[in-house]
Every structure is written in structure tokens, then in C-alpha cells.
Amino acid sequence: MMNIMRFKGLPILQQLHIEEQLLRTSSDNWCIINDGTCDPTIVMGVSGKPAELLEIESVLRDQVPVIRRFTGGGTVIVDCGTIFVTFICNKEAVSDLQPYPRPIMSWSGLLYSKVFQGIGDFHLRENDYVFGNHKFGGNAQSITKSRWIHHTSFLWDFDVRNMSYLKLPKRAPAYRFARGHLDFICRMKDYMPRSTFIDKTVEAASTQFSLRSFELEEIETLSETESNPSTRLLSAEELEADVIAGR
């Protein structure tokens, strides 16, 4: 059994707080689909360093929010053109799946191969979802003693101007070939309609789980355990201090 929640335009900080709560306090399996987030927001992995990853002067000038999430992975800027899909599962939820990053990544690649069957040249390349050698889906994970989360930001569309807030990462997949952001990524909208992708993702999940629709209001009754999320907004002072410390 898997509970599924579908949102449209849920703020990404709220979504990440929900995901962290469900990972740590729920014993159910979950699929969360959020069709876009309201305002352009930068989301960094748990160990990301702003001075190495962001053009901080521009970020501060334009007051772009920066979030440090609770999972690993790289840095993305998300907005209304991003579609988010998250799976949160108990370790025994998927038969014969070893709860380690590579097996979970491989499982997700097989699931999305059903979604993109016959569309573009889809495959899992290193830790990215790509059409050919152009990335359109970035992934992050966290694995606890008894559960794991795998969440993805899909670039259905993006604003070229927003990419200027991100520096070229020092560590990048080999297939990137030192390409800049705009030469490295592509838009899903050039391959399939937005609603079709979401419907096909739900359909693919239903081939492995019995899905039950769940409403946001029901989460409050899940557990008496107080959730204290580690995902948070970084302050302007923290961003500035990181630049100074890196000099």
C-alpha cells in the first residue's frame, strides 16, 4: 500500500518539511507529486556550501530564497516550471531492493522508463534522468535505519535567467563535459505534456503499489511525535558569512 498526495503550487519549503516529517515519523509508504512551486527558490543539498555553488551577490541582490534540505544531492533552482515527485518507503516495501543509493536509483530509473517509454532517448545516466545527454531530472536521497526517500525535481520548463544564480559545480557527472547549465539541461515540455507526465507517473507507481489518495490535513493525525525539521531557509547573514569564510 502507498499513500499518494498531489499538490499544485505547494511552496517547496513546506513540501520538504512534509517529506522530512513523513520519513521520520510515519511507517507508511508515500508518493508526493507537486506540480510547480510558487516563487523561484534555490534548494541545496545538506552538505552544500553556498560560496562554492551560488552567485551569492546576485542571490542577495534579487532576494532569492535559499533552502538547505535534509537530503544529499546537488543544488537546483525551482519554480512554477518544476514538477516534484517523491517516494518515501519502508526498506521492505520493494521486493529484493537493497536500501542503498545505487539500487534505489536503479529502481527509480526502471519506474520512469515506463513513464517515458517511446518518448525521447530516456535513460538513467549516472544519477540523472536524461534525454540523450541532456539532463531534465535531478535526484536526491536520504536513507535511515528503516526507511528511505528518493525525490526528484523535473525540469518541465525553466527560466534561462534563473540559471545565472548557479555556479558551475566543482564536482559534475562525466557526461556533462564541462558544459554550462544551458547546454547541459533540457525542457520536458519539448517531449510530453505536463499532465501526461503526472498521469503516467501515477500509473507507473500503481504497477508496484496499491495507491490510496491522501489529503494534507490528514498528516496531522499520523503521529504524536513532534517533528523538528532540519530543512530550513538560510539567512542573508549566513550566505554572507559563508562568502567571507571561503576567502
How far is the C-alpha of 43 from the C-alpha of 193, rounded, in Å? 25
Q: Pull the grid cell for residue 109.
A: 530509473
How far is the C-alpha of 112 from the C-alpha of 151, rounded, in Å? 13
Q: Pull the grid cell for residue 179.
A: 558544459
- Helix pair 101-115, 194-206: axis angle to 10 deg: 120
Q: How far is CA 242 from the centre of its chain?
A: 24
CA distances 226 to 88, 131, 157, Å, are: 19, 42, 36
3-state secondary structure of 203: helix
How far is the C-alpha of 79 from the C-alpha of 159, rounded, in Å? 9
The structural domains of the chain, with segments of one domain joined by +, span 2-246
> Model confidence over 36-57: pLDDT tens digits?
998 999 999 999 999 999 999 9
3-state secondary structure of 235: coil
How far is the C-alpha of 100 from the C-alpha of 102, rounded, in Å? 6
pTM for this prediction: 0.94
Residue 99 has pLDDT above 90, yes or no: yes
> Model confidence over 123-170: pLDDT tens digits?
999 999 999 999 999 999 999 999 999 999 999 999 999 999 999 888
Q: How many residues are there in the chain?
A: 247
* Residues 6 or more apart whose Cβ sits within 8 Å of residue 35: 6, 7, 8, 9, 83, 194, 198
2-246 CATH pick, 3.40.50.620, 3.30.420.40, 3.30.930.10, 1.10.1660.10: 3.30.930.10
pLDDT at 244: 67
Looking at residue 67, its amino acid is I
Regarding predicted confidence, which is higher, 196 or 174?
A: 196
3-state secondary structure of 48: coil
Residue 220 has pLDDT above 70, yes or no: no
Instruction: Tell me the mean pLDDT in the region 189-202.
Output: 97
